[in-house]
């Protein structure tokens, strides 16, 4: 019996990918799990709304599980997580109960940062929040500082910028915050604090970041205005949210692995159905189009306030390009897999203005450069990006995920197109955002 091309060992901790000499191709129609950003927001807004929220298509990854567990601890009733239907009975505006224990955000920056806005404004209650090793080293000052300007009381290591954090809920004052970074987590945290604060709270950002909070807050009944010209959002505090039905589209950040796999692996054609194509998230499609990838958007439609499409990708030769500026926040989570695309493209790809990647689940610039180079790629780390000289044949070897879900999956796609065997240590990290990744990979891979 021949060895399978893809297999997991050590109870799913290590992923081995060993393409035959003749290579592989990826063929099929697939669906990706629910959008992670929308899943977090649906659980949170459902938890603080009055009445019942029904969520269809929720991501069943570890990150939304952390959000659900935190809000259950504060009184929201959330049914068992299930992608068909999750029911949330909300507690109502400014009515989260004081948790009897530490709130655990696991690996999830979105859980911790968005929740901080709500906790800081929950007058009269005390909270402690923490996360895993990675999250405890990620910067929280970016939300703590503006919340302090609103009057928040938050304590933690390194001048209150690192979890574990202790929070004493206060009556906050509304502010106009000019964020130095284009971050949806920062924007959303302040908007959620603003929801519980009298008056108008405005956030202005240097470039537009994902707008799922704005869309969903409006759908739940919040008084919110967006001024795209000046890149600002204003929320008027004090409006009770009402439970809604949320239909979560497939996550374009998960689809990105298949877009790149389909583009770089010879003989491939994949149709990825039901993917969210919110314009604040489609930077990956634009970057791959700049690299001359063959990608088509089919069956474009709107589902519960979010644009959705089916994405078809076919293999073709890619060309290097420059990715920078306002495009970066629109593909921030896709840079590791874009680096893989660049490694297989002709010519040089330059990624700039992406220093934010250094404070994600891992230092994604350092990690993707070192791990791709271990496979023979020519990647140079820049202070705020990467320079990748493409078209070099990659060879499988032993690489590490650094417990980062997007690094695991990016290396798996690179391994499909490399000669010889790749072993990815720490592959269980994929379950943070994509529990079925290896199953889908196994189903779509065919020997050439
Ligand atoms: C997210 C925003 C982004 C992104 C993260 C999810 C969100 O982070 O990287 O995976 O759901 O708001 P930043 O806001 O820090 O850029």
Q: What is the pLDDT of residues 174-195, one digit of tens each?
A: 999 999 999 999 999 999 999 9
Looking at residue 192, its pLDDT comes to 99
Atom of ligand 1 nearest to the CA of 329: 16
- Indicate which atom in ligand 1 lies nearest the CA of residue 36: 11
CA nearest 74: which of 54, 56, 92, 51?
92
State how far the Cα of 336 lies from the Cα of 156, in Å rounded to an integer: 31
Distance 263 CA to ligand 1 centre (A): 26
Interval between CA 9 and ligand 1 midpoint (Å): 31
Mutate to test the pocket of ligand 1, among 43, 110, 281 (most ligand atoms within 8 A of CB): 110
Q: pLDDT digits over 54-95, tens only?
A: 999 999 999 999 999 999 999 999 999 988 999 999 999 999
Whether residue 434 has pLDDT greater than 50: yes
Please say if 333 is a catalytic residue.
yes
Atom of ligand 1 lying closest to residue 114 CA: 12
For residue 3, the model assigns a pLDDT of 66
Q: Which residues line ligand 1 (CB under 6 A)?
A: 37, 110, 183-185, 188, 209-210, 332-333, 356
d(CA 17, CA 13): 13
Ligand 1 centroid from CA 183, angstroms: 6
Tokens, residue 39: 């899943």
Ligand 1 closest atom vs CA 213: 12
> Do residues 13 and 427 lie in contact, with contact meaning Cβ atoms separated by under 8 Å?
yes
Q: Which residue has the tokens 């696991």?
A: 106
Whose C-alpha lies nearest to ligand 1, atom 9? 333
Share above pLDDT 70 across residues of the chain, in percent, rounded to a whole number: 99
SS3 content of the chain, % helix, strand, coil (to 5): 35, 30, 35
Mutation to probe ligand 1, out of 35, 36, 37 (largest number of atoms < 8 A from CB): 37
Residue 216 pLDDT = 98
- Ligand 1 atom closest to Cα of residue 183: 14
Q: Where are the alpha helices (DSSP H) in 294-346?
A: 335-343
Q: Which atom of ligand 1 is nearest to the CA of 185?
A: 14
What is the DSSP secondary structure assignment for residue 103, as one 8-state letter?
E
Work out the mean pLDDT of the chain and round it to a whole number: 97
Residue 392 alpha carbon to ligand 1 centre in Å: 32
pLDDT value at 335 more than 80: yes
User: For ligand 1, atom 11, which residue shows the shortest CA distance?
Assistant: 37
43 CA from centroid of ligand 1 (Å): 16
Q: How far is the CA of 402 from the centre of ligand 1 (A)?
A: 19
Mutate to test the pocket of ligand 1, among 38, 144, 183 (most ligand atoms within 8 A of CB): 183
pLDDT class of 2 with cuts at 50, 70, 90: low
Burial of 260 (0-12, 13-18, 19+ CB in 10 A): buried
Structural domains in the chain, sorted by start: 5-34+250-447 (3.65.10.10), 36-247 (3.65.10.10)
Residue range 4-13, pLDDT digits in tens: 799 999 999 9
Q: Whose CA is nearest to atom 4 of ligand 1?
A: 333
Q: CB burial class (10 A; 0-12, 13-18, 19+) of residue 230?
A: exposed
Residue listed under structure tokens 């604060």: 197
Ligand 1: residue of 146, 332, 354 to mutate (most ligand atoms within 8 A of CB) is 332
- Calculate how far, in angstroms, residue 256's C-alpha sits from the geometric centre of ligand 1: 16
Pick the residue whose CA is nearest to atom 15 on ligand 1: 183
- Grouping H, G, I as helix, E, B as strand and the rest as coil, residue 30 is strand
| Average pLDDT, integer, range 198-225 | 98
Question: Which of 113, 209, 254, 328 most suits a substitution to test ligand 1, by most atoms within 8 Å of the C-beta?
Answer: 209
- Alpha helices, DSSP H, located in 166-225: 184-195, 212-219
Give me ligand 1 centre to Cα 209, in Å. 8
Ligand 1 centroid vs 63 CA: distance in angstroms? 12
Is 1 a residue whose pLDDT tops 70? no
Q: List the one residue out of 97, 136, 113, 135 whose CA is nearest residue 40.
A: 113
Q: What is the pLDDT of residue 83?
A: 81
The one catalytic residue among 211, 251, 310, 333? 333
Q: Given the CA of residue 186, which atom of ligand 1 is nearest to it?
A: 14
Does position 213 have pLDDT exceeding 90, yes or no?
yes
């Amino acid at each position: 019996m021949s060895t399978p091309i893809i297999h997991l060992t050590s109870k799913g901790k290590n992923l081995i990918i060993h393409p035959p000499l003749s290579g592989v191709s990826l063929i099929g129609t697939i669906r990706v799990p629910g959008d992670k950003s929308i899943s977090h927001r649906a659980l949170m807004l459902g938890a603080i709304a009055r009445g019942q929220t029904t969520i269809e298509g929720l991501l069943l990854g570890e990150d939304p599980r952390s959000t659900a567990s935190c809000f259950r601890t504060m009184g929201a009733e959330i049914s068992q997580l299930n992608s068909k239907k999750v029911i949330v009975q909300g507690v109502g505006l400014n009515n989260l109960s004081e948790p009897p224990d530490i709130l655990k955000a696991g690996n999830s920056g979105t859980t911790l940062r968005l929740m901080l806005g709500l906790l800081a404004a929950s007058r009269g209650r005390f909270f402690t929040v923490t996360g895993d090793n990675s999250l405890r080293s990620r910067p929280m000052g970016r939300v703590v500082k503006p919340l302090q300007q609103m009057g928040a009381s938050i304590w933690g290591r390194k001048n209150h910028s690192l979890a574990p954090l202790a929070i004493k809920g206060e009556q906050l004052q509304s502010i106009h915050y000019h964020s130095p970074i284009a971050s949806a987590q920062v924007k959303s945290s302040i908007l959620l604090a603003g929801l519980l604060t009298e008056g108008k709270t405005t956030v202005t950002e240097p470039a537009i970041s994902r707008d799922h909070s704005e869309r969903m807050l409006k759908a739940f009944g919040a008084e919110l205005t967006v001024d795209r010209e000046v890149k600002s959002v204003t929320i008027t505090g004090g409006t009770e949210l009402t439970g809604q039905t949320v239909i979560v589209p497939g996550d374009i950040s998960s689809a990105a692995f298949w877009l790149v796999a389909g583009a770089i692996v010879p003989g491939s054609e994949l149709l990825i159905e039901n993917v969210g194509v919110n314009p604040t998230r489609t930077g990956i499609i634009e970057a791959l189009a700049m690299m001359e990838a063959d990608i088509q958007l089919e069956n474009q439609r709107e589902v519960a306030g979010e644009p959705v499409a089916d994405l078809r990708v076919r293999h073709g030769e890619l060309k290097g390009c420059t990715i920078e500026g306002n495009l970066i926040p629109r593909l921030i989570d896709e840079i590791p897999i874009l680096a893989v695309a660049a490694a297989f493209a002709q010519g040089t790809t330059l990624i700039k203005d992406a220093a934010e990647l250094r404070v994600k689940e891992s230092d994604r610039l350092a990690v993707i450069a070192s791990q791709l180079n271990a496979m023979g790629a020519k990647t140079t780390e820049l202070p705020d990006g990467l320079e990748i000289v493409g078209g070099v044949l990659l060879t499988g070897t032993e690489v590490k995920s650094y417990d980062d879900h997007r690094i695991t999956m990016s290396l798996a796609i690179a391994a499909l197109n490399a000669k010889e065997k790749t072993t990815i240590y720490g592959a269980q990290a994929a379950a943070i955002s994509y529990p079925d990744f290896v199953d889908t990979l196994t189903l779509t891979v065919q020997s050439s």
